Chains A and B, each alone.
Chain A
Amino acid sequence: MIEGLLHDQAGLLNFVIFFVLGAVLLLVILGFVTYAILAERKVMGFMQMRYGPNQVGGPWGLLQTVADVLKLLLKEDTIPKLADKPLFILAPVIAFAPSFMVIATIPFTDKLQFADIGVGLLYYIAVSGLTTIGVVMAGWSSNNKFALLGGMRAAAQMISYEIPLVMSVLGVVLLTGSLNLNEIVSAQENVWYILLQPIGFIVFFIASVAELNRIPFDLPEAENELIAGYFVEYSGFRWAFFMLSEYVYMFAMASLTTVLFLGGWLPLFSFLDFIPGAVWFALKFSLVIFILLWFRSTFPRIKADQLMEFGWKVLLPVALANIFLTAIIKSLF
């Protein structure tokens, strides 16, 4: 349907349809973020022998995040006196917008995808890199030393981990012969890429945790060192935008992991294909999210210099070797 609309003549009706679709997607993602935060707090609570939220919205705290968001909306919006005001205001928007843009290319099922771009994977990686600009902007414009340190860390981390991330998926691209995410999923009909590309998967997963700025790689916002890092001066809804972009990226990255390595909407075994693809996708996706939450409550934080060393001296060579190996094996068989 979307393909048809794209090729239609531009008109008010088309615009309205796209607008509504975009708004629906946004709401779905906001819904996800709401419950991802709740899930994170609950899972961490169980792992730490606590209850987690259990007051607002019944024993499962189902409305806790809603209440938190309302609180954030009502909070006073402070801008430091000596901050670079335009940049300070723009930074959360620049950090958030790409996180939402990348979702467009992700195929949730064979039918549900918003933009079936030929170079979907490239688009994802290119656009997601933009967020760092927002983060560095926030760090710089806050006129706060902790924020500045956080912003610098974010820039360094992004450069060192974006490259292994790209290199690690090249193996998948080589095997499929396409950058289109739909085709990548279809190529996993018989066997998932996690089995064909185990090294690539490990490198990709580590690099993606670093991209997400989550423990053990949450250096830009290292609470115990830099207080909150780049968003230390932000409050209220501007702050919420940074958190939002973080969780939307978690959503996007878990989806991408599912698509690239876990066979997207394809069932585990072919006789199980009576279960709809969306359910399979959700299951695999939840697994990836759970592992991310598990990391968060288990690992300590890595050090900045070790992070760089690990990215350049370990992940990158391993990813390159993986491409090399994949190419040889592919040309042999």
Chain B
Amino acid sequence: MLRTEEMLLNVGPQHPSTHGVFRLILKIDGETIKEAKPVIGYLHRGTEKLAENLQYTQIIPYTDRMDYVSAMTNNYVICHAVETMMGIEVPERAEFLRVMAMELGRVSSHLLWWGTFVLDLGATSPLLYAFREREMILNLLNELSGARLTFNYMRVGGVKWDAPEGWVDKVREFIPHMREQIKGYHDLVTGNEIFLNRVKGIGKYTKEDALNYSLSGPNLRCTGVKWDLRKNEPYSIYDRFNFDVPVREEGDVLSRYHVRFAEIEEALKILEQCVEQFPEEGPILAKVPKIIKAPKGEAFVRIESPRGEIGCYIASDGKKEPYRLKFRRPSFYNLQILPKLLEGESISNLIAILGAVDIILGEVDG
């Protein structure tokens, strides 16, 4: 008789497909996963605790480092929370700049996801094509904020810098270019038989599961739940724009792929309308006190980041630092369903499923 035994396999924290320092302890039988246990915390920097000793403006650069692929949304959520507490009216021009920056960030975040996801499946070229377009977006955001990744762009009451001359036209030119490139992406990858075999029907979960695990963003919308905070609880000036919330019914990896691509298209639609309606003149920063002190009390705001609902809770005792700051970080919540999805899958499927969740470890570990 042959003696067979289960094998304990450590995937990560140093593994090419865990997108950072994520670790999975797998119990495998051959290549079939019996049990998966995620271990997180390798990138924990204690953002929330650090924030208790920082003034509100000083917290903003720390949020850049949470979801470092889409830092603009993180900037926005902290500013939005403080503005809500203080009741500050943000000037229109600033809101437009914020929305444009966030939507550009959304496109670049999904592009990065696409490139790395397809790279995980073994295709090397798409990553470089995705980076070509992402580079254009980073250049645009760089012109706006002076940084390429950790923007530190928004302030309580508005934004730090005005758009340089001709910037809006550059965004206007970028939109049709991006649409053209998306067609190329679909030609290269989406129709590929090998690709479809890798992703179709893999990592499936139902609407109920998604809601019970408190998933959000594309991970939720791929099961048919039409929930997007930009539409359902409009913040900033999103109620002015005309756009759809892309939804798929299947709940598998392929549907998440399609949802993200459709979201790029919708983000481009929003950008197009922003460019048209952009106010020529106006202040970019509301009149706010020199030292920002949130009034005594608490507030929770949530917005739609590329990865899902990012929330910010502030409890203040009226000082210039928050008493307690808490972020609802979507990657962290989205990751919870992973052990359930991985049971009974093979190692190749693990890569596809993990990739499709779209985690950013900086955000998972906080």
Chain B's closest residue to A306 (CB) is B197
Quote the shortest CB–CB distance from A144 to chain B (angstroms). Answer: 10
Quote the shortest CB–CB distance from B295 to chain A (angstroms). Answer: 50
Q: Which residues of B contact A222 (CB under 8 A)?
A: 122, 348
Q: Determine which of A47, A226, A299 lies in contact with B194 in the assembled complex, contact meaning CB atoms within 8 Å.
A: A299
Q: Which residues of A contact B188 (CB under 8 A)?
A: 298
A:203-251 near B, CB below 8 Å: 215-216, 218, 222-227
Whether A225 pairs with B119 at a CB distance below 8 angstroms is no
Q: Determine which of A152, A218, A223, A302 lies in contact with B197 in the assembled complex, contact meaning CB atoms within 8 Å.
A: A302
Determine if A49 is an interface residue (Cβ-Cβ < 8 Å).
Answer: yes
Determine if B309 is an interface residue (Cβ-Cβ < 8 Å).
Answer: no
Query: A48-91, CB under 8 A of B: which get 1 and which 0?
Result: 11100000000000000000000000000000000000000000
A48, A149, A216, A225: which has the most chain B beta carbons within 10 Å? A225
Whether B348 pairs with A299 at a CB distance below 8 angstroms is no
Q: Determine which of A145, A149, A300, A305 lies in contact with B122 in the assembled complex, contact meaning CB atoms within 8 Å.
A: A300
Query: B115-148, CB under 8 A of A: which get 1 and which 0?
Result: 0001111111100110010000000000000000
Whether B347 pairs with A297 at a CB distance below 8 angstroms is no
Quote the shortest CB–CB distance from B286 to chain A (angstroms). Answer: 43
Whether A48 pairs with B197 at a CB distance below 8 angstroms is no
Q: Which residues of B contact A225 (CB under 8 A)?
A: 17, 347-348, 350-351
Q: Which residues of A contact B204 (CB under 8 A)?
A: none
Q: Which residues of A contact B328 (CB under 8 A)?
A: none
Whether A300 pairs with B128 at a CB distance below 8 angstroms is no
Determine if B31 is an interface residue (Cβ-Cβ < 8 Å).
Answer: yes
Q: Which residues of B contact A296 (CB under 8 A)?
A: 124
SS of A interface (majority):
helix
Cα–Cα distance between A227 and B17 once the two chains are bound (Å): 9
Given A149-B347, A304-B348, decide whether A49 and B122 contact each other with a Cβ distance below 8 A: no
Determine if B324 is an interface residue (Cβ-Cβ < 8 Å).
Answer: no
Determine if A303 is an interface residue (Cβ-Cβ < 8 Å).
Answer: yes
Whether A299 pairs with B122 at a CB distance below 8 angstroms is yes
Query: A277-312, CB under 8 A of B: which get 1 and which 0?
Result: 000000000000000000011111111111000000
Determine if B9 is an interface residue (Cβ-Cβ < 8 Å).
Answer: yes
Q: Which residues of A contact B351 (CB under 8 A)?
A: 224-225
Determine if B340 is an interface residue (Cβ-Cβ < 8 Å).
Answer: no
A:134-167 near B, CB below 8 Å: 145-146, 149, 152
Given A50-B128, A222-B122, decide whether A305 and B194 contact each other with a Cβ distance below 8 A: no
Q: Determine which of B30, B119, B123, B132 lies in contact with A299 in the assembled complex, contact meaning CB atoms within 8 Å.
A: B123
Whether A302 pairs with B194 at a CB distance below 8 angstroms is yes
Cα–Cα distance between A222 and B17 once the two chains are bound (Å): 11
Quote the shortest CB–CB distance from B259 to chain A (angstroms). Answer: 20
Query: B283-312, CB under 8 A of A: which get 1 and which 0?
Result: 000000000000000000000000000000
Chain B's closest residue to A44 (CB) is B124
Whether A303 pairs with B198 at a CB distance below 8 angstroms is yes
Whether A300 pairs with B118 at a CB distance below 8 angstroms is yes
Determine if B16 is an interface residue (Cβ-Cβ < 8 Å).
Answer: yes
Cα–Cα distance between A226 and B28 once the two chains are bound (Å): 14
Q: Determine which of B17, B118, B346 lies in contact with A304 in the assembled complex, contact meaning CB atoms within 8 Å.
A: B346
Q: Determine which of B119, B132, B198, B350 lies in contact with A49 in the assembled complex, contact meaning CB atoms within 8 Å.
A: B132
Q: Which residues of B contact A47 (CB under 8 A)?
A: 125
Determine if B349 is an interface residue (Cβ-Cβ < 8 Å).
Answer: yes
B125, B346, B350: which has the most chain A beta carbons within 10 Å? B125
Determine if B192 is an interface residue (Cβ-Cβ < 8 Å).
Answer: yes
Given A48-B128, A145-B9, A216-B194, decide whether A303 and B349 contact each other with a Cβ distance below 8 A: yes
Q: Determine which of B31, B125, B197, B349 lies in contact with A298 in the assembled complex, contact meaning CB atoms within 8 Å.
A: B125
Whether A301 pairs with B122 at a CB distance below 8 angstroms is yes
Cα–Cα distance between A191 and B349 once the two chains are bound (Å): 45
Query: A25-56, CB under 8 A of B: which get 1 and which 0?
Result: 00000000000000000001001111000000
Quote the shortest CB–CB distance from A292 to chain B (angstroms). Answer: 14
Quote the shortest CB–CB distance from B151 to chain A (angstroms). Answer: 26
Q: Which residues of B contact A227 (CB under 8 A)?
A: 15-16
Determine if B7 is an interface residue (Cβ-Cβ < 8 Å).
Answer: yes
Given A304-B348, A306-B197, decide whether A224 and B16 contact each other with a Cβ distance below 8 A: yes
Q: Which residues of B contact A224 (CB under 8 A)?
A: 16-17, 119-122, 351
B:172-219 near A, CB below 8 Å: 188-189, 192, 194-195, 197-198
Cα–Cα distance between A302 and B192 once the two chains are bound (Å): 11
Q: Which residues of A contact B350 (CB under 8 A)?
A: 225
Quote the shortest CB–CB distance from B149 to chain A (angstroms). Answer: 21
Quote the shortest CB–CB distance from A278 to chain B (angstroms). Answer: 33
Q: Which residues of A contact B189 (CB under 8 A)?
A: 300
Given A145-B9, A149-B347, A225-B347, decide whether A300 and B132 contact each other with a Cβ distance below 8 A: no
Quote the shortest CB–CB distance from A135 to chain B (angstroms). Answer: 17
Chain A's closest residue to B121 (CB) is A300
Whether B125 pairs with A48 at a CB distance below 8 angstroms is yes
Q: Which residues of B contact A149 (CB under 8 A)?
A: 31, 347
Chain B's closest residue to A223 (CB) is B16
Q: Which residues of B contact A303 (CB under 8 A)?
A: 197-198, 346, 348-349
- Interface residues of chain A, those whose CB is within 8 Å of chain B, are 44, 47-50, 145-146, 149, 152, 215-216, 218, 222-227, 296-306
A-B contact pairs, 11 of them (CB 8 A): A49-B128, A49-B132, A50-B128, A145-B9, A215-B123, A223-B122, A224-B122, A225-B348, A227-B15, A227-B16, A296-B124
- Interface residues of chain B, those whose CB is within 8 Å of chain A, are 7, 9, 15-17, 30-31, 118-125, 128-129, 132, 188-189, 192, 194-195, 197-198, 346-351
A-B complex: 4 closest residue pairs judged by Cβ atoms: A301-B122, A300-B123, A300-B121, A48-B128
Q: A224-B122, A296-B124, A303-B346 are known contacts; what are 5 more A-B pairs with Cβ within 8 Å?
A: A47-B125, A218-B122, A222-B122, A224-B121, A303-B198
